[in-house]
Each structure stands twice: as structure tokens, then as C-alpha cells.
């Protein structure tokens, strides 16, 4: 039996390990939203109160505790640099300024922080240099990081280093999405100036991080959401002109300083951009948002891009996990394994962080089914290899009629539904913690 790290490295090499590797809490976007994690801990019977540790304050990603990661079989651990010297501060109990000067607020009755004031709303090209940018390359961010990375590897887990490189999305938060998307077409000079500056600031962080740990991490992660649920946020031609050169600079620095694989988190239907992402050096694509446009057809993604990319994610967080039964979730897992697993090159995870409306038994069903159906050789698929680019036939995760049925029902109705198999899983997982 392979160690978790060996399993991940085998999949990244497009070889079939002993079983499909699983990321749960391995990055912020494979974790759980904080309110949902509190509920999940209670479901599992974890003793004591959660300490409230987050992988991201802005996005409220919970840092999953080690006993839960061990019990549920996560194969990688996150490695997060410390905070940089910046303008970050608390305004009040529900409002804070982040490292970039963006003001966020958690409004009553909501679960996500929202941008209250985008600080670059009225910025001009001439004002960019004078802005108080965070010092992402400050040595204090990387103190003790190498020891932590080595400890993770010594325990047999893959190390996922968070670079914080996300120029396109960070500008969207600082300008406001409406202004930023208009900039791309109406003011390309400003768009280039902002992308250039954000890339410069983020390169300092990438360089500092990988000089400290580049030889002891397995994956270097960046994130830039480039799509919505129907299409990319910008055309391929705009991506090539205004974003791709800066992604290329960041990824070139990652590859210069580390042999680790480059992981890009990018939500939405980004199918049309995938060839360009491969071209700039992306090797792992996450989250494979299967509810978004052309990303739904995971067999096609594997057939067309499986020789170049490892796919990470693909377990639907918008319909199957929150609204499906335990059986629906298990079927979803089996479908994505059948589509993406042959020949290696697949790491199973939820599509983005798991939301508070997801029944805990469905989370357990996802991870249990990953172990049950993810053992190689995969059922009925042992003759396939992703390197050959073969098409795969797989059972549907949810029939169209089932999807329609789920969409007609209210979330609350589904939270009250607990099938017998779900109750059995509740007992089996809770037994671990007494």
C-alpha cells in the first residue's frame, strides 16, 4: 500500500496508484465553510470546541483538524505562509480590512464576507505605484515553514503550498467586478498596469516562499477565477492579451524555483481557456466545476486534456452534495471516478469548499465512496489509459429527471431527509471520536 504522498505523486505522473487520491482540507477550496464545519464536527462527535482556525479569513475556509483529516483519508496537507506586513486591521466585530486594503463585512444572517469598499474603485494608472501594497516577500511570512513542510512529508502526506498568486481575481475584488470587467475592454492600459503591478507584488511572495520550501513541497497552488456558470469571464483573445502573459511570469518563477506541480484553482466554465492554461504551465486544474457549461462533461475533459492535466475536484457541490441523497452522492463519485480516474491524473475532491447546507452524511458518503470505488484497477476500466486519450463510458451521476426533481425542492426539505445508509454512516464516523 502506498503512502498518501506516493499516491498523489503517482496520480500526478499520470500513472495509476493503489487508489484515487483524495483532497479534503488540503487547500482552502477543498475544505468547508466555517459554519458548516462546526456542524460537521458535531455530527462526527468530535470532543471539545473548534478553535476557529481558518485557512482564509476572507473566504472563511475552515482549517480541518488533523484527527478528522486522518479519519476521512485526506492525502495532502496545506502549507500556508504567514501574514505579510500590510494595512490589514479590524474595523469592528464583523468588518475588517484585508492585506490589500479591501474592506470586508459579514452581514447579519449571511455566511460569506462581502466587499464593502473596493479600494481601487477610482484609481488611475499614475496612482498605482503610490498605493500601499502588501510586502508578500517579507521573511517573517516564511519563518518555520520549511520545518512544517518537512514534518508533513515525514508523516507521508503530500505538501500543497499556497502561493497567494491570484492577480486577476484580486484586482476584481479591489476594483469591483463591474469596473474590472469593463477595464479589460474599455481601458486596456489600466488593465495591463494593474496586472503588471499585482504580478510584481505576488512574484515577491512566490519567490520568498519557494526559496524557503521549493524543494520540499509537491504542489504549488495559485487561484484565479476566470469563468461563470455559462462561459469564461473574458474571451480567449482577451485572456491571451491581458492575463496570460502575467500568469506565464508567475508560473515560470514557480517552475524555476521548484520541481513541484503547478495547481490552478479557477471556478466556472473555463473550457475555452484550458489550452492556454496548459500552454502557460498549469499541470493540475481545480475545481472542475461540473455544474458550469462545458465543464459538465468530465469524460470529454479527460479525453481532450487528460494527457496534459491532472484534474482535481469534480464532485458537485451545487446539486449532488447539498440536495442529493446518500445514494445520489455515491453515484456522483462513481461517475467522476469512471470519467477522470483511468490512467491516473485525477485527485478526487468537492467542487470548491463544502457549504453549510450540505448534510454531513453526504460529506461522509463522498469520502467513503471515494475509497470504495477508487481502488485500481477501476471497475470495468482497467484497459483504459489517459495517455491514449480514449473516451470513457460512465453511468450518469444524476438522471435529468432527478436533477429537475431536486431543483423543485427547497433546501430545508433535503436537510431533513436522512436515509438509512446515512444513519449508518453517522454511527460509523461518530464511533471514532467516542
The CATH number given to whatever domain includes residue 142 is 3.20.20.210
| Rounded-to-integer distance, Cα 219 and Cα 308, Å | 16
Helix, strand, or coil (residue 371): helix
Q: Return mean pLDDT, the chain.
A: 91
- 339 HSE (CA, 13 A, CB side): 28
Pairing of strands 89-92, 95-97: antiparallel
C-alpha distances in Å from residue 428, one per residue of 169, 356, 413, 422, 425: 41, 22, 25, 10, 5
Taking a C-beta distance cutoff of 8 angstroms, is the pair 160, 26 a contact? yes
Overall pTM surpassing 0.85 (yes/no) = yes
Half-sphere exposure for 62 (CA within 13 Å, toward CB): 25
Q: Please choose, from the candidates 227, 197, 201, 196, the residue with its C-alpha nearest in 3D space to the C-alpha of residue 352.
A: 227
Listed range (90-104, 219-233, 242-256, 392-406) with the worst mean pLDDT: 392-406
Q: What is the pLDDT of residues 95-139, one digit of tens each?
A: 999 999 999 999 999 999 999 999 999 999 999 999 999 999 999
Tell me how far apart the alpha carbons of residues 109 and 7 are, in angstroms, rounded to a whole number. 41
Report CA 405 to chain centroid distance, whole Å: 28
- Nearest residue to 217 (alpha-carbon basis) of 288, 163, 284, 282: 163
DSSP symbol at 432:
G
Over residues 363-372, the mean pLDDT reads: 98
Q: Residues of the chain with pLDDT > 70: what percent?
A: 88
| Structural domain count, the chain | 1
Q: Are strands 284-286 and 310-315 parallel, antiparallel or unpaired?
A: parallel
Mean of the pLDDT values across residues 266-281? 99
Cα distance between residue 56 and residue 29, in whole Å: 10
Quote the DSSP letter at residue 268.
S
Cell of 128: 498605482
Residue 259, C-alpha cell as written in the block: 520541481
For residue 344, is it left (φ>0), alpha (ψ between -120 and 50) or beta?
A: left
d(CA 8, CA 23) in angstroms, rounded, equals 9
Q: pLDDT (tens digit, 9 = 90+) per residue, 65-78?
A: 999 999 999 999 99
Backbone angles phi, psi at 294, to 5 degrees: -70, -10
pLDDT classification of 391: cutoffs 50, 70, 90: very low
Give Cα 75 distance to the centre of its chain: 15
Grid coordinates of 62: 475552515
Domain that holds residue 374: 4-433
The cell 518555520 sits on which residue?
Answer: 144
- Is 408 in a helix, a strand, or coil? helix
Q: How confident is the model at residue 408 (pLDDT cuts 50, 70, 90)?
A: very low
Q: What is the reported pLDDT for 424? A: 47
Cross-strand pairs, 314: 349
Q: Report yes or no: 169 and 233 within 8 Å, Cβ to Cβ.
A: no
| Average pLDDT, integer, range 261-278 | 99
How far apart, in whole angstroms, are the C-alpha atoms of residue 252 and residue 220?
12
For residue 397, name the pLDDT band (cuts at 50, 70, 90). very low
**81-101 pLDDT, tens per residue?**
999 999 999 999 999 999 999
Output the pLDDT for position 150: 99
**In the predicted structure, residue 411 carries a pLDDT above the cut 50:** no
Q: How confident is the model at residue 380 (pLDDT cuts 50, 70, 90)?
A: confident
pLDDT of 433 higher than 80: no
Strands (E), 57-171: 61-62, 76-79, 89-92, 95-97, 103-105, 114-117, 158-162
Q: How far apart are CA 407 and CA 411, in angstroms?
A: 9
> What is the C-alpha separation between 358 and 24, in angstroms, rounded?
15
The pLDDT confidence band at residue 381, using thresholds 50, 70 and 90, is low
Question: How many CB atoms lie under 10 A from the CB of residue 304?
Answer: 16
- 3-class SS shares of the chain: helix, strand, coil, % to 5: 45, 15, 40
Q: What are phi and psi of 363, to 5 degrees?
A: -65, -45
Q: What is the pLDDT at residue 242?
A: 98
Amino acid at each position: 500500500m502506498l503512502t498518501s504522498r506516493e499516491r498523489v505523486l503517482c496520480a500526478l505522473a499520470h500513472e495509476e496508484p493503489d487508489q484515487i487520491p483524495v483532497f479534503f482540507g488540503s487547500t482552502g477550496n477543498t475544505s468547508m465553510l466555517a459554519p458548516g464545519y462546526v456542524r460537521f464536527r458535531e455530527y462526527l462527535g468530535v470532543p471539545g470546541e473548534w478553535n476557529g482556525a481558518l485557512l482564509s479569513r476572507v473566504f472563511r475556509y475552515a482549517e480541518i483538524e488533523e484527527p478528522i483529516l486522518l479519519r476521512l483519508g485526506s492525502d495532502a496537507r496545506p502549507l500556508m505562509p504567514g501574514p505579510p506586513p500590510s494595512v490589514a486591521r479590524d474595523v469592528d466585530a464583523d468588518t475588517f480590512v484585508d492585506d490589500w486594503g479591501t474592506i470586508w463585512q459579514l452581514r447579519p444572517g449571511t455566511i460569506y464576507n462581502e466587499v464593502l469598499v473596493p479600494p481601487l474603485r477610482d484609481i488611475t494608472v499614475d496612482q498605482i505605484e503610490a498605493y500601499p501594497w502588501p510586502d508578500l516577500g517579507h521573511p517573517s511570512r516564511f519563518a518555520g515553514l520549511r520545518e512544517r513542510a518537512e514534518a508533513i512529508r515525514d508523516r507521508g502526506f503530500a505538501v500543497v503550498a499556497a502561493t497567494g498568486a491570484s492577480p486577476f481575481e484580486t484586482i476584481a475584488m479591489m476594483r469591483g467586478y463591474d469596473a474590472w470587467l469593463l477595464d479589460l475592454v474599455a481601458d486596456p492600459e489600466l488593465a495591463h498596469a494593474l496586472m503588471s503591478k499585482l504580478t510584481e507584488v505576488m512574484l515577491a511572495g512566490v519567490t520568498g516562499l519557494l526559496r524557503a520550501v521549493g524543494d520540499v513541497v509537491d504542489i504549488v497552488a495559485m487561484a484565479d477565477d476566470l469563468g461563470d456558470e455559462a462561459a469564461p469571464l473574458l474571451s480567449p483573445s482577451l485572456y491571451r492579451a491581458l492575463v496570460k502573459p502575467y500568469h506565464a511570469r508567475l508560473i515560470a518563477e514557480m517552475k524555476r524555483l521548484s520541481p513541484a506541480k503547478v495547481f490552478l484553482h479557477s471556478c466556472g466554465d473555463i473550457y475555452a481557456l484550458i489550452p492556454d492554461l496548459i500552454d502557460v504551465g498549469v499541470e493540475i486544474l481545480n475545481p472542475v466545476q461540473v455544474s458550469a457549461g462545458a465543464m459538465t462533461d468530465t469524460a470529454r475533459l479527460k479525453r481532450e486534456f487528460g494527457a496534459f492535466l491532472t484534474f482535481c475536484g469534480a464532485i458537485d457541490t451545487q446539486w449532488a452534495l447539498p440536495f442529493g441523497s446518500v445514494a445520489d452522492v455515491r453515484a456522483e463519485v462513481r461517475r467522476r471516478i469512471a470519467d477522470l480516474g483511468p490512467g491516473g491524473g485525477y485527485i478526487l475532491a468537492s467542487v470548491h469548499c463544502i457549504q453549510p447546507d450540505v448534510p454531513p452524511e453526504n460529506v461522509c458518503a463522498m469520502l467513503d465512496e471515494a475509497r470504495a470505488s477508487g481502488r485500481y484497477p477501476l471497475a470495468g476500466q482497467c484497459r483504459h489509459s489517459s495517455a491514449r486519450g480514449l473516451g470513457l463510458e460512465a453511468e450518469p451521476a444524476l438522471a435529468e429527471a432527478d436533477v429537475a426533481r431536486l431543483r423543485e425542492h427547497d433546501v430545508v426539505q433535503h436537510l431533513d431527509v436522512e436515509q438509512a445508509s446515512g444513519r449508518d454512516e453517522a454511527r460509523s464516523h461518530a464511533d471514532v471520536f467516542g
